[in-house]
Chains A and B, each alone.
Chain A
Amino acid sequence: MEDLKLHGSMSSVFTYRVIWALKLKGVNFEFIEEDMTNKSDLLLKYNPVYKKIPVLVHGGKLIVESSIILEYIEETWPQNPLLPADPYEKAVARFWSKFADNKILTLYGFFVKVGEEQEKAVQEGLEILRNLEEHGLGDKKFFGGETIGLADVGLGWIAQWLAVLEEIVGIKLLEESKFPRLFEWRKNFKEIPIIKENVPDRDEMMASIKIRHEKITATAHD
């Protein structure tokens, strides 16, 4: 049994990336739920620079930042690889992983903004989806090719959470007519057994995100 602990939160998309990677590789770990409104002393000690989850603790060694954790997992447990062996294919996967990281907040923009700012955020969100559709996926089933890879795991929140945000706000970004390949990707991603078994309950997710939205937009006018 590996001495492996994951400090995270079931309401965090970044935590889910790590859970998916570990489960896809069949690696056992202990999950410790962190209350982000009341961060444990352990978390503050583990991640003093960012004070964020997820944090992976492997044999007492700490790894932070979900994308970095994913690369660490990939290198430590090479079974069921999430990255191809070829350096160029790896570079492409890492490019889209980085794209996922850099664009998450922008894509989230339509959910947290109101009025004119929201309109701008919607356009920015659509541009992100366009890039994913045309340059990222191309003709492939997944970003990783025939099977999912690091980039799919990094972008997985689009498959799981975006629809909930769209429903609450009443604006659809990922429309089948506009982004047929990405739409199909989302369907396929959600059907993967490990992914299917490891997602938050939709009703619970809906309820907690709705509360978050009310809080955010209440202050948005100040």
Chain B
Amino acid sequence: MAETDVKILGTRSSPFVMRSQIALKIKSVDYEFLEENLVKKSILLLQSNPVHKKVPVLIHGDKLICESLVIIQYIDETWSSGPSILPSDLYDRAVARFWANYIDQTWFPSLFALLFTKGEEAKGKAIKQLLAGMELFEDAFKKCSKGKAFFGGDSIGYIDITLGCFLAWIRVSEKFNGLAILDTEKTPYLVSWAEKFCADSTVKEVMPEVDKLAEFAIKLEAHMNASASN
């Protein structure tokens, strides 16, 4: 393992952690992955992210950077000679940030609810919100990609990373609930995008296998239910 002063503190199942890994791979930056136990958080994590105590944390020398979207921008700006992750046009950057914000604030909570909430009504509400989001993303893809393979154009960009990191979890949700979130009829562009994203060299190694993730999801739900009833 090459000596490197770049480390990611995270877990292999976290889509937010995946974002940091993809960004570093885009810039061809070697890094060490420090596997964190979120049930029994390490001293390193508690010291590195005292405010939120969450992963990912990017450790670059003696610098600690937290919050996945902040980390992507830090990586983009620090290794500026590599391919750009955010668009260069100022308005396009605002659009990219808008979608990242929507994904995290509005869309992801409904994915989380679908996976881990009980009750038909709650699940139904989550599905509705989730699918509404997919339609918005399909539309956004057409506008942002300008006929190319990714939201970012010819190569993976900010929106690609921010949404694409959830693809394995989307597949798990589809499996558990018997529904199509990525639908070849309703969101054909996204279906094609998802294939290309997952096949990309910067993503392939860090995207978890759906079956393994499904097993993990079952364990995680059991753990959450156990903690909730204590």
Contact = CB atoms under 8 A, between A and B. Distances in A.
Interface in B93-121: 93-94, 97-98, 101-102
Nearest to B77: A87
Contacts of A63: 91, 94, 98
Given A71-B97, A87-B77, A90-B77, A95 B70 contact: yes
A33 B77 CA distance: 37
A94 B67 contact: yes
A61 interface: yes
A87 B75 CA distance: 8
Given A75-B90, A88-B63, A49 B102 contact: yes
Interface string B66-81: 1101110110011000
A76 B90 contact: yes
Contacts of A91: 65, 70-71, 73-74
Interface in A51-87: 58, 61, 63-65, 67-69, 71-72, 75-76, 87
B186 to A, nearest CB: 18
Contact of A99 (B51, B98, B101): B51
B63 A61 contact: no
B91 to A, nearest CB: 5
Which 3 residue pairs of A and B lie closest in terms of their CB atoms, listed nearest first? A87-B77, A91-B74, A72-B94
A188 interface: no
A106 to B, nearest CB: 13
Given A63-B91, A87-B78, A131-B51, A94 B73 contact: yes
Given A58-B91, A75-B93, A76-B90, 8 more contacts: A68-B94, A71-B97, A90-B73, A95-B66, A95-B67, A95-B70, A131-B51, A135-B51
Q: Which of B77, B93, B94 has the most CB of A within 10 A?
A: B94
Interface string B48-67: 00110000000010010111
A98 interface: yes
Q: Chain A interface secondary structure, helix, strand, loop or mixed?
A: helix
Nearest to B70: A94
A72 B90 CA distance: 7
A31 to B, nearest CB: 20
A91 B57 CA distance: 12
Contacts of A65: 97-98, 101
Contacts of A95: 65-67, 70
A64 B98 contact: yes
A176 to B, nearest CB: 23
Contacts of A90: 73-74, 77
Q: Which of A64, A67, A88 has the most CB of B within 10 A?
A: A88
A98 B70 contact: yes
Given A75-B93, A88-B65, A68 B74 contact: no
Nearest to B95: A63
A136 to B, nearest CB: 8
